[in-house]
Amino acid sequence: QVDGDRLWQSLMEMAKIGATEKGGVCRLALTDLDKAGRDLFVSWCKEAGCSVSVDKMGNIFARRPGRNEDMPPVMTGSHLDTQPTGGKFDGVYGVLAGLEVIRSLNDHRIETEAPVEVAVWTNEEGSRFAPAMVASGVFAGAFDLEYGLSRADLDGKTMGEELARIGYAGDREVGGRPIKAFFEAHIEQGPILEAEEKTIGVVTGAQGQRWYEITLTGQEAHAGPTPMKVRKDALVGAARIVGEVNRIGLAHQPYACATVGLMQVSPNSRNTIPGKVFFAVDFRHPDADTLAQMDSELRAFCDKVTAEIGVEMAFEQIWYSPPVAFDPDCVNAVRKGAKLAGFGHMDIVSGAGHDACYINRVAPTGMIFVPCENGISHNEVENATSADIAAGCNVLLHAVLERANA
Amino acid sequence: QVDGDRLWQSLMEMAKIGATEKGGVCRLALTDLDKAGRDLFVSWCKEAGCSVSVDKMGNIFARRPGRNEDMPPVMTGSHLDTQPTGGKFDGVYGVLAGLEVIRSLNDHRIETEAPVEVAVWTNEEGSRFAPAMVASGVFAGAFDLEYGLSRADLDGKTMGEELARIGYAGDREVGGRPIKAFFEAHIEQGPILEAEEKTIGVVTGAQGQRWYEITLTGQEAHAGPTPMKVRKDALVGAARIVGEVNRIGLAHQPYACATVGLMQVSPNSRNTIPGKVFFAVDFRHPDADTLAQMDSELRAFCDKVTAEIGVEMAFEQIWYSPPVAFDPDCVNAVRKGAKLAGFGHMDIVSGAGHDACYINRVAPTGMIFVPCENGISHNEVENATSADIAAGCNVLLHAVLERANA
Ligand SMILES: NC(=O)NCCC(=O)O
Ligand SMILES: NC(=O)NCCC(=O)O
């Protein structure tokens, strides 16, 4: 049994770092606030007797030794970075649940066969630096190190520069070592567990994602004396594509999601026809073929509309994260943990991407979901109950123990 | 006859202040660059023997005495601020053409009955601070001083603060004094003169404008696990309104213009459904009734789409500038000047707003247009020929002399 109160208190303590007026958290990857959150986590891990190492992508590993130090570790963890309108639980829950597992093992003086590690993965959100899960991706060999370090934010600052600036450019090689199993606890970020009144989501996999960057270039001109017919209005083109993205999402129900979350208009002046619009598209579907169909529809529409409006287009799919199926043994360990503790549970497919999706490529992996209020995440009102938070952590403890002693 | 080379050289000298890589000028209202432009203009006016005063809206008046100092002045001028993607001519041409008139009068030792003043109106563009022509509007009594000084940019800085900061918060009262006549020379900023192969546009009036600010508030949520059907995506709503604005413009051809130039998406993160979008609409038409009809169509559509999508809307018309007819005597003075000099000319209605539109409320007013390349303005490639630039200034000289000696 973990100490649910202690876990909750640690979550609330961490939520002060980057706390927003509306009760959320804004702690963007590799900002000073991210550094403060990392420092706090590291200090807690050291208090819990862990040794701490940092790799070249800034991933942090806190290690509790096992009886058999030659065994690969059982690893758990998630991320400390948030969205601009982030909440108190997305990511940080999985990190502090891992810490609570270690604290509980200490309390009960339980030795494990394999070492146990808690990981903090850098820039999971993909908000400041695209794509998401980039550092767990490097760890798992999905990206090379150079790619990871060169990801830049909208101001042109790279992850490499910012890691060095905040003192988290570690010297450990990224990945390339065996892991016995990886578990990630996370809030669901969707409405299903709440609707089905289940405490635990036994995550069997995650849907696929495609991310795009599109730049339309038309011609700046005066909004007053420039006749409608000679205009090359990049925003008129972008608006039509936003509408099409939404149509594609609706056309592939029940599972598809399709979103334009980011848009920058230039020169962004009320009485100048927009000469340039940069925006990003996020497509999701659990089935790779449907996701490919959504891709074709988007490309066809963009070609058509840009020709009609007479604007130039730069179109790039910047990220593809294929649908993921987690390891059956790890999934079973989660299901067994939920059963043993008597928690209502159900199998579920993750709508969000998670570091676990990449780690699954190099280690047997499973995930544990707990409900969040009204299914809302990436929003400052994101919320979860302390009972559910503790329940997920108890299931994590069970799964970690089972794999560490197997 | 004015000195066309000197005028061109002064234009090129001023264009260095805020020069952009693409050959344009970015000299936003009340920035340090605007101050540098003002300082240069003031120094040139003093060299030309003018006395210079500044009013509480930062409008600058350079005065060349008349034989009869009790007579109200004949005034000419325009603005020194530019769009973010501005050119070398929009506004500054009218200011430096005024200065060239004074320099030419000096060269030829011509005394005028009435004094001649060159005015620089603050923040004509309406790009950094909305609405446009706000300081000539205060001068003409269209806005009160408090309104003018409290206009804020997107960072919340007010015109009053920024005037004080750059040292152009003058102590002279704004307006309230008689003006014998006002003339403004300007590039056309549209394609008509070039298409008709005319050197001079005799501006008979200007079309009306309505500017709006619209904020849609939906709900931030995760782009992955949030089903399409429960979303309140503010950008999907805004995109539909951008499409409708464009449709309204096309539906009221041949004259209507309709533009969304400014849009800000929050939180502007690729994988968060936009919770808030702020954008501005610019409607134009020479006929007030048609403009009112465009207004009704926009309101009806916005009500419908926000109800459909389930987002909240704050909708405000922030500016109405009614269609303007200039003073027949001033228009005639311009036409006569063009005729006497033998320039091809035609009557034209301005598609853009100009300080002259407000000054027309308190003084007999006329405007002179010269062609610009491909009709392009509010774009760094904005261009005009030195021959046309000199021609417009010669017509201005004629019109000023006629009214100053009448
Ligand atoms: N869990 C989470 O919010 N991940 C961010 C990456 C994504 O958008 O799926
Ligand atoms: N001349 C000019 O560009 N004025 C700006 C105000 C407007 O948009 O009409």
Give the sign of the dihedral formed by CA B10, CA B81, CA B383, CA B252.
Answer: negative
Collect all residues with Cβ–Cβ distance below 8 Å to B232 and sequence separation of at least 6: B218, B219, B221, B273, B275, B309, B310, B311
Contact between A353 and B224 using a beta-carbon 8 Å cutoff: yes
For residue A271, the SS3 value is coil
How does pLDDT run across A284-296, given as a tens digit for each residue? Answer: 999 999 999 999 9
Please check if A79 is assigned to a binding site: yes
Please check if B90 is assigned to a binding site: yes
Number of Cα atoms under 13 Å in the Cβ half of residue A138: 25
How would you list the strands of the sheet with B257-266, edge to edge?
B257-266, B276-285, B208-217, B312-321
In terms of residues, how long is chain A? 406
Ligand 2 binding pocket mutation candidate from B88, B124, B368, B377 (most atoms within 8 A of CB) = B124
pLDDT range class, residue B249, cuts 50, 70, 90: very high
Q: Where are the alpha helices (DSSP H) in A252-361?
A: 288-309, 328-341, 355-359
Residue B377: nearest ligand to its CA?
Answer: 2
Closest-CA residue of A relative to B260 is: A270
Please check if B79 is assigned to a binding site: yes
Residues with CB under 6 A from ligand 2: A 222-224, 271; B 90, 124-126, 132, 189, 352-354
When pLDDT is averaged across residues B304-331 and rounded to a whole number, the result is 98
Q: Which atom of ligand 2 is nearest to the CA of B132?
A: 6
Residue B224: nearest ligand to its CA?
Answer: 1
Residues with CB under 6 A from ligand 1: A 90, 124-126, 132, 189, 352-354; B 222-224, 271
| Token pair belonging to B331 | 């228009």
Please check if B125 is assigned to a binding site: yes
Task: Report the DSSP pairing between strands B221-222 and B272-273.
Answer: antiparallel
| Token pair belonging to A154 | 């909208």
Helices (H) and strands (E) in chain A, counts: 12, 15
**Phi, psi (deg, nearest 5) at residue A162:** -75, -35
Q: How far is the CA of A91 from the centre of ligand 1 (A)?
A: 9
Do A254 and A237 form a contact (C-beta atoms < 8 A)?
no
Interface-testing mutation among A226, A252, A271, A305, with chain B (most B C-beta atoms within 10 A): A271
- B282 vs A132, A223, A258: nearest CB: A223
- A260 vs B235, B260, B352: nearest CB: B235
Interface-testing mutation among A272, A301, A348, with chain B (most B C-beta atoms within 10 A): A272
CA pair distance B98, B205, nearest whole angstrom = 20
pLDDT range class, residue B251, cuts 50, 70, 90: very high
Do you find a cis peptide bond into B131, omega within 30 degrees of 0? Answer: yes
Which one, of A114, A171, A119, A168, lies nearest residue A140 by Cα? Answer: A119
Q: Is B18 exposed, middle or buried (0-12, 13-18, 19+ CB in 10 A)?
A: buried
Cα dihedral B12, B16, B17, B19 in deg (nearest 10) = 120
Q: How far is the CA of A241 from the centre of ligand 2 (A)?
A: 29
Q: How far is the CA of A367 from the centre of ligand 1 (A)?
A: 14
pLDDT range class, residue B154, cuts 50, 70, 90: very high
Closest-CA residue of A relative to B271 is: A261
CA pair distance B186, B90, nearest whole angstrom = 7
Contact between B83 and A272 using a beta-carbon 8 Å cutoff: yes
The pLDDT value recorded for residue A75 is 98
Contact between A224 and B239 using a beta-carbon 8 Å cutoff: no
CA pair distance A157, B1, nearest whole angstrom = 55
Ligand 2 binding pocket mutation candidate from B121, B260, B354 (most atoms within 8 A of CB) = B354
CA pair distance B154, A85, nearest whole angstrom = 20
| Token pair belonging to A207 | 């849907």
- A130 vs B263, B268, B270: nearest CB: B270
| Token pair belonging to A208 | 């696929």
Show the 3-state SS of B164-215. HHHCCCCCECCCCCCCCEEEEEEECCCCHHHHHCCCEEEEEEECEEEEEEEE
- B282 vs A240, A242, A270: nearest CB: A270
CA-based nearest distance B147→chain A, Å: 19
For residue B216, the SS3 value is strand
Give the sign of the dihedral formed by CA A281, CA A285, CA A289, CA A293.
Answer: negative
CA pair distance A265, A238, nearest whole angstrom = 10
Q: Which residues of chain B lie closer than 8 angstroms to A189, CB-CB?
A: 222, 224-226
Do you find a cis peptide bond into A267, omega within 30 degrees of 0? Answer: yes
Collect all residues with Cβ–Cβ distance below 8 Å to A238 and sequence separation of at least 6: A214, A216, A263, A265, A277, A279, B239
Measure the N-to-C terminal CA separation of chain B; round to a whole number of Å: 20
DSSP A219: -
CA pair distance B351, A225, nearest whole angstrom = 4
DSSP A269: -
CA-based nearest distance A178→chain B, Å: 30
Contact between A246 and B233 using a beta-carbon 8 Å cutoff: yes
Interface-testing mutation among A83, A228, A324, A373, with chain B (most B C-beta atoms within 10 A): A228
Residue B187: nearest ligand to its CA?
Answer: 2
- How many cross-chain Cβ pairs, A to B, lie less than 8 Å apart? 267
Interface-testing mutation among B134, B155, B270, B374, with chain A (most A C-beta atoms within 10 A): B270
Collect all residues with Cβ–Cβ distance below 8 Å to B164 and sequence separation of at least 6: none
The pLDDT value recorded for residue B130 is 98
Q: How far is the CA of B171 from the centre of ligand 2 (A)?
A: 27
Q: Which atom of ligand 1 is nearest to the CA of B270?
A: 8
CA-based nearest distance A113→chain B, Å: 37
DSSP B86: B
CA pair distance A19, A83, nearest whole angstrom = 12
Closest-CA residue of B relative to A83 is: B269
Residues of chain A with pLDDT under 50: none
Do B120 and A303 form a contact (C-beta atoms < 8 A)?
no
Do A259 and B224 form a contact (C-beta atoms < 8 A)?
no
- A224 vs B233, B243, B257: nearest CB: B257
Which one, of B279, B264, B288, lies nearest residue B212 by Cα? Answer: B279
CA pair distance B178, A278, nearest whole angstrom = 50
Ligand 1 binding pocket mutation candidate from A82, A122, A125, A348 (most atoms within 8 A of CB) = A125
Angle, alpha carbons A116-A117-A119 (nearest 5°): 155
CA-based nearest distance A381→chain B, Å: 9
The pLDDT value recorded for residue A377 is 98
Closest-CA residue of A relative to B309 is: A246
Residue A269: nearest ligand to its CA?
Answer: 2
Which one, of A289, A324, A321, lies nearest residue A204 by Cα? Answer: A324
Residue B82: nearest ligand to its CA?
Answer: 2
How does pLDDT run across B389-403, given as a tens digit for each residue? Answer: 999 999 999 999 999
Do A382 and A376 form a contact (C-beta atoms < 8 A)?
yes
